[in-house]
Amino acid sequence: TVQGILQMYYEFEEILKEISGMDKFSLHPQGGAHAVYTAASIMRAYHRDRGELDKRREIISAAFTHPCDHAAPATAGFRLIILPPSENGYPSIEAVKAAVSERTAGMFITNPEDTGIYNTEIDQFVKIVHDAGGLCFYDQANANVLLGIARAREAGFDMCHFNIHKTFGTPHGCSGPGLGALGVRDYLAKYLPFPTVEYDGEKYYLDFDRPESVGKIRQFQGPAGVLVRAYAWIRAIGQEYLKEVSEISTINHNYLQKKLQELIPEIDVPYAPGRRRLEEARYCWQKLFEATGVSTTDIMRRVGDFGLQHYWTSHHPWVVPEPMTLEPCESYGKEDLDEYAAVLKHIRDEAYSDPEVVKNAPHKCASHKLADESALDDPKRWATTWRAYVKKRGRT
C-alpha cells in the first residue's frame, strides 16, 4: 500500500549514491547529528567484529569540524583527539600523523569545515588513518559546494552523511524537521539500520532480515515530507545543474562576505584570514561587542524584526568569540543578499546609536526574548515535558 513513497526512498538513495560514490544509504536518521551517531555505532560494530574494539577507542577530529562529530562518537563510547588548526585553517598533516596509533578507531571530519575553509589535503588525512587501521567518516551536512564537484568516495572515505533538510532544496537556517542520509561503502552496508528499502524488479519492499545491522535508530524511515521536497527538487533541477548549485553557492557566499566587510568595519573573519571561504564563513562580532555591549545573540534576535529568518549564532563551543555563521547557498538572489547586508549594517549602526533597541529585541516577533538565555545551556534548568518541568520546579 505504500509503493509510491518506498519508490521515492529507493530512488533518492540511488541519487545520493551517484552524488557521493557510496554504495548504500540509510534514510532513517532524524537529522545530521543522528546520522553521525549512527556512523559512530557502525564504526563500533566494525571494530567489534574484528575483535579490536577494546583496543581502538580513539577518534581523531578537528577543532572546526562540527561539534556533533565530536559529541556523537563520544556518546558511542569513543575518546576524542581534537586537532587545532594550522595557519591554513585546518590541521596539518604532521598533526594527523602524530595523532594516529594502534588505538585509532577512526576519523570524523567536516570539509569544508565550519569556517568555510576547504581542506585540500583531506585524501592524505584519510590515507594516514586507514594505514593505522581506522575508518573515516565525512560530514557533508552542508554539501552545497560539493555537489557535482567532489565525492566522498574519491577522497577515500568509508562513510558520509548529508543533511537533506539543508543541502537539498531547503534554505539553510530555516528550520523545520530534519532528515539525515547516511551513506557507507559496501563492506559496511550490512551494519546499516533496518529495515532497508529494496526493490525486487517488480515491487519495493522493506528488508528486516539484516542480522548484522546496528539495529533500529528510530521507528521508521526519516521524515517523508523532507524526502519528498528534496526528491522533487533534485529531479526538477536534474544532474547537469547540480554543479551549478555549487557554483552559485560559492558566488553568493563570496558576494555576501565582500559586501559585509565593506559595509561593517567591525566584522572579522578570524583564523587563516584572507584564505578563501567556500559557501560559508564564521564571522566574529567581538569588536562591536566590546564597543557597544551588543552581542551576536542580540543581533540575531533583532534580525527577526526585519522579517528575515536566516541568522546563525553558531553552535557551542564558541571557538570564535561572538560568532555568526552565514551560509546563503543557492537559494537566495542578489537582492536578498543586498537586503540582508543592509539589515546587518542597520543593526550595527543601531548598536552605537540606541543599543537598548537591539538588546531588547525582538520587538515584532511572535516569540519574545528569554528572561535568562543561559538556561538553554543548562539541562538542569530546562525540561522537555510539562511533567518534567513541574518536577524540576518542585525540587528547587
Ligand X SMILES: Cc1ncc(COP(=O)(O)O)c(C=O)c1O
Residue 68 or 351 having the CB closest to ligand X: 68
* 93-112 residues near ligand X, rule: CB under 6 A: 110
Contact indicator for 328, 253 with CB cutoff of 8 Å: yes
Residue 166 or 259 having the CB closest to ligand X: 166
Residue 33 or 227 having the CB closest to ligand X: 33
Smallest distance, ligand X to C-beta of residue 353, A: 33
With contacts defined by CB under 6 A, name the span among 30-38, 227-235, 266-274, 342-350 that binds ligand X.
30-38
Give per-residue burial for 107-126: e unless 16+ CB within 10 Å, then b: bbbbbbbbbbbbbeebeebb
Smallest distance, ligand X to C-beta of residue 158, A: 17
Residue 241 has a CB neighbour count (10 Å cut-off) of 15
Query: What is the distance between the alpha carbons of residues 341 and 353, in angstroms, rounded to a whole number?
Result: 19
With contacts defined by CB under 6 A, name the span among 27-35, 52-60, 184-192, 233-241 that binds ligand X.
27-35
The reply to whether 245 sits near ligand X by the rule CB under 6 A is no
With contacts defined by CB under 6 A, name the span among 26-34, 213-221, 349-357, 365-373 that binds ligand X.
26-34
Query: What is the distance between the alpha carbons of residues 278 and 254, in angstroms, rounded to a whole number?
Result: 8
* 54-83 residues near ligand X, rule: CB under 6 A: 66, 68
C-alpha cell at 58: 580513539
Query: What is the distance between the alpha carbons of residues 337 and 334, in angstroms, rounded to a whole number?
Result: 5
Best CA proximity match to 78, nearest among 52, 113, 114, 112: 52
Smallest distance, ligand X to C-beta of residue 249, A: 14
Residue 66 or 277 having the CB closest to ligand X: 66
* 335-374 residues near ligand X, rule: CB under 6 A: none
Best CA proximity match to 313, nearest among 289, 291, 334, 331: 289
Smallest distance, ligand X to C-beta of residue 49, A: 27
The reply to whether 31 sits near ligand X by the rule CB under 6 A is yes
Smallest distance, ligand X to C-beta of residue 12, A: 17
Number of Cα atoms under 13 Å in the Cβ half of residue 223: 16
Torsion of CA 63, 66, 70, 72, to 10 degrees: 180
Instruction: Name 180's bridge partners.
Output: 163
Smallest distance, ligand X to C-beta of residue 174, A: 12
Smallest distance, ligand X to C-beta of residue 269, A: 18
The reply to whether 32 sits near ligand X by the rule CB under 6 A is yes
* 113-172 residues near ligand X, rule: CB under 6 A: 139, 141-142, 163
Query: Residues in contact with ligand X, total (CB under 6 A)?
Result: 11
C-alpha cell at 208: 528486516
**Helix and strand counts by DSSP (H, E) for the chain:** 13, 11
In the chain, the amino acid numbered 331 is S
Best CA proximity match to 296, nearest among 306, 307, 284, 308: 284
CB-nearest residue to ligand X: 32
Interacting residues with ligand X (CB under 6 A): 31-33, 66, 68, 110, 139, 141-142, 163, 178
